[in-house]
């Protein structure tokens, strides 16, 4: 009951901010979300959502809307750059109660914004928040270049990982709803279908001459095709159909040292921006939103509730961020290491396919709804 009638401001109407707004408003808080953009548009791109995040969306009453807006993901299929299968991890049998979904970011944002408005949240657009008035609580869900994070931690310098990613969405007639990862030396390409006849492509290469962070940088699709010219299977056909692409230098940001000061708190990318190699950035943001709400609702003492939130989230998010850092290496193996790595995976896939996925039970099996918050 601690949230009833409390005034809360959230900066940023991304996945973290909107999910937190819904959760807080559903428990009786009066929530305003301040968003810099003049409208809620999104760079065209897909997202994989795993059960740890979907459990939260279900608990917020968004399960049916999510199902209508997304596809189920049946497997993660690792393939060599030639297209030969290395291993297929079946998501259905590995997690009978788990829902893995594939969704377009714009659809997820629209779904969350609608639910937030229904819950009574006031979303104010075209608000570039520069300094922070002190309401009873300010939540910084302001993403990668968070000003709230800087206010709590001072200025920090991320470092370039030497990797660059292209993102594209193409028209496609569907195909099996699974995420496919094509692994080559120093590069990999991830692709999965999206609803409405679309397909998402993320292609990563090791390259040191591009160091801009952010999705606004358009690139010539010919550069993407040239970088993946040696790839087989369906990749050449997909890349031939890319008409627009954006490129992004991948930077490693440390997990924030300080998450809160008793009045301000950071969530989502603002607290723990991650490399995309575990597909968990948005999922962690959604988990944060639920746990923060639960902590605040369980304890009238805001300072103590925020400390509890930080102590619950920091270890888990740090571990996921580290797993994503490690995965980059695994996908890009070269020479003998690559041969050995792929052979081990093939064998493991034959002998104990369930084991490959159960390594990640600590991520996907986590249920934020059951977390002990007080």
What residues make contact with ligand FAD under the rule CB under 6 A?
Answer: 11-17, 34-37, 47-48, 127-129, 141-144, 147, 165, 167, 202, 268-270, 276, 279-283, 285
Phi, psi values for residue 186, rounded to 5°: 70, 10
- Tell me whether residue 129 or residue 189 sits nearer to ligand FAD (CB atom): 129
- Min dist. Cβ of residue 18 to ligand FAD (A): 8
List the structure tokens of 15.
Answer: 């996945």
- Min dist. Cβ of residue 347 to ligand FAD (A): 28
Cβ atoms 268, 285 nearer than 8 A: yes
Q: Pairing mode, if any, of strands 245-252 and 75-80?
A: unpaired
Q: In the beta sheet, which residues pair with residue 11?
A: 34, 140
Residue indicated by tokens 């497997």? 75
- Tell me whether residue 139 or residue 305 sits nearer to ligand FAD (CB atom): 139
Cα–Cα dist 345/85, whole Å: 10
- The b-or-e profile of 322-361 (16+ CB within 10 A means b, else e) is ebbeebbeebbbeeeebeebbeebbeebeeebeebbeebe
- Tell me whether residue 245 or residue 302 sits nearer to ligand FAD (CB atom): 245
- Tell me whether residue 215 or residue 349 sits nearer to ligand FAD (CB atom): 215
- Tell me whether residue 194 or residue 282 sits nearer to ligand FAD (CB atom): 282
DSSP assigned state of 167: E
- Min dist. Cβ of residue 280 to ligand FAD (A): 5
- Min dist. Cβ of residue 49 to ligand FAD (A): 6
- Nearest CA to 107 among 38, 181, 169? 169
- Tell me whether residue 216 or residue 329 sits nearer to ligand FAD (CB atom): 216
SS3 at position 181:
strand
- Tell me whether residue 155 or residue 350 sits nearer to ligand FAD (CB atom): 155
Cβ atoms 367, 55 nearer than 8 A: yes
Phi, psi values for residue 50, rounded to 5°: -105, 170
Cβ atoms 276, 10 nearer than 8 A: no
- Min dist. Cβ of residue 1 to ligand FAD (A): 27
- Min dist. Cβ of residue 279 to ligand FAD (A): 3
- Min dist. Cβ of residue 45 to ligand FAD (A): 7
Cα–Cα dist 316/325, whole Å: 14
Cα–Cα dist 261/264, whole Å: 6
- Min dist. Cβ of residue 235 to ligand FAD (A): 17
- Tell me whether residue 159 or residue 350 sits nearer to ligand FAD (CB atom): 159
- Tell me whether residue 69 or residue 283 sits nearer to ligand FAD (CB atom): 283
- Min dist. Cβ of residue 253 to ligand FAD (A): 11
- Min dist. Cβ of residue 270 to ligand FAD (A): 6
- Nearest CA to 106 among 15, 200, 42, 46? 42
Beta strands in the chain (DSSP E): 7-11, 30-34, 46-49, 70-72, 75-80, 85-90, 101-104, 122-124, 137-140, 159-171, 179-184, 187-194, 198-206, 218-219, 245-252, 264-266
Instruction: Give the helix/strand (H/E) hosting 175.
Output: none
- Tell me whether residue 231 or residue 248 sits nearer to ligand FAD (CB atom): 248
């Amino acid at each position: 009951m601690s949230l009833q009638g409390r005034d809360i401001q959230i900066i940023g109407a991304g996945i973290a901010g909107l999910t937190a707004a819904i959760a807080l408003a559903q428990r009786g808080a009066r929530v305003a979300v301040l968003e810099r953009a003049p409208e809620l548009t999104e760079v065209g791109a897909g997202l994989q959502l795993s059960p740890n995040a979907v459990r939260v969306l279900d608990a917020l009453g968004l399960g049916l809307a999510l199902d209508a807006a997304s596809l189920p993901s049946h497997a993660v299929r690792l393939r060599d750059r030639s297209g030969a299968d290395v291993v297929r991890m079946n998501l259905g049998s590995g997690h009978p109660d788990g829902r893995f979904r594939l969704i377009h970011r714009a659809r997820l944002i629209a779904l969350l914004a609608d639910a937030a408005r229904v819950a009574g949240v006031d979303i104010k657009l075209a608000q570039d928040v520069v300094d922070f008035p002190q309401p009873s609580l300010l939540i910084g869900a302001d993403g990668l270049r968070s000003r709230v994070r800087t206010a709590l931690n001072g200025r920090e310098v991320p470092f370039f990982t030497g990797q660059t990613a292209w993102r594209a969405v193409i028209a496609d007639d569907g195909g099996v709803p699974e995420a496919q990862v094509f692994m080559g030396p120093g590069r990999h390409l991830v692709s999965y279908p999206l609803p409405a006849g679309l397909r998402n492509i993320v292609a990563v290469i090791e390259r040191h001459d591009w160091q801009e962070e952010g999705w606004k940088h358009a690139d010539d699709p010919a550069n993407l095709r040239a970088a993946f010219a040696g790839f087989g299977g369906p990749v050449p056909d997909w890349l031939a159909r890319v008409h627009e692409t954006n490129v992004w230098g991948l930077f490693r940001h440390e997990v924030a040292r300080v998450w809160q000061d008793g009045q301000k708190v950071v969530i989502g990318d603002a607290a723990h921006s991650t490399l995309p190699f575990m597909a968990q950035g948005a999922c962690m943001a959604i988990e944060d939103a639920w746990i923060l709400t639960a902590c605040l609702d369980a304890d009238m003492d805001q300072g103590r509730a925020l400390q509890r939130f930080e102590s619950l989230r920091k270890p888990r998010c740090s571990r996921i961020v580290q797993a994503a850092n490690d995965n980059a290496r695994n996908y890009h193996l070269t020479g003998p290491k690559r041969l050995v790595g792929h052979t081990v995976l093939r064998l493991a896939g034959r002998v104990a396919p369930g084991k490959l996925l159960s390594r990640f039970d600590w991520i996907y099996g986590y249920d934020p709804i059951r977390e002990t918050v007080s």
